Structure 1
């Protein structure tokens, strides 16, 4: 069983693990071409998501509400990431 401190550490460590994937891709392959601003934006998105999930874990008491709110937060992250990458909604800041 993980303690509260270990769960919080894991929540904030996951964005670093996710960011190592494109970093390794940049080092190993020419196919991945992330600039420092790409890493900055991805880091802001991932750490903001981790912050909000940790906030929900600490403030919301009912387990079903925690799960639903966290799923909503993750859905917003995924849709924002996809919009920035390929522009599925056609917004002005789309990546396509």
Structure 2
């Protein structure tokens, strides 16, 4: 059984692990081309998501509500990430 501190540490370690994937791609391949601002934006998005999920985990009591709110947070992250990457909505921040 994981303690509360271990769960919190895991929640905040996952964004670091996720950011290591494009970092390794940048270092080992010419096809991955992330700039420092790309890493900064991705880090802000991922750590904000981790913070919000941890906040929900610590404040909401009902398990069903926790799950629904966390799913909403992850879906919001996915939509923002996709918009920044390829521009499915055509906003001024759209990539490519």
Instruction: Decide: shared fold, TM above 0.5.
Output: yes
TM-score with structure 1 length normalisation?
0.99
Gaps of 5+ in 1: none
Tell me how many residue pairs correspond in the alignment: 96
Structure 2 CA distance for aligned equivalents of residues 64 and 4 of structure 1: 19
How far apart are 1:73 and its partner, in Å? 0.1
How far apart are 1:65 and its partner, in Å? 0.1
The runs of at least 4 aligned residues of structure 1 exceeding 3 Å deviation read none
Structure 1 CA distance for aligned equivalents of residues 81 and 47 of structure 2: 13
Alignment match, 1:2: 2
TM-score with structure 2 length normalisation?
0.99
Alignment match, 2:77: 77
Gaps of 5+ in 2: none
Q: Note the aligned Cα RMSD (angstroms).
A: 0.4
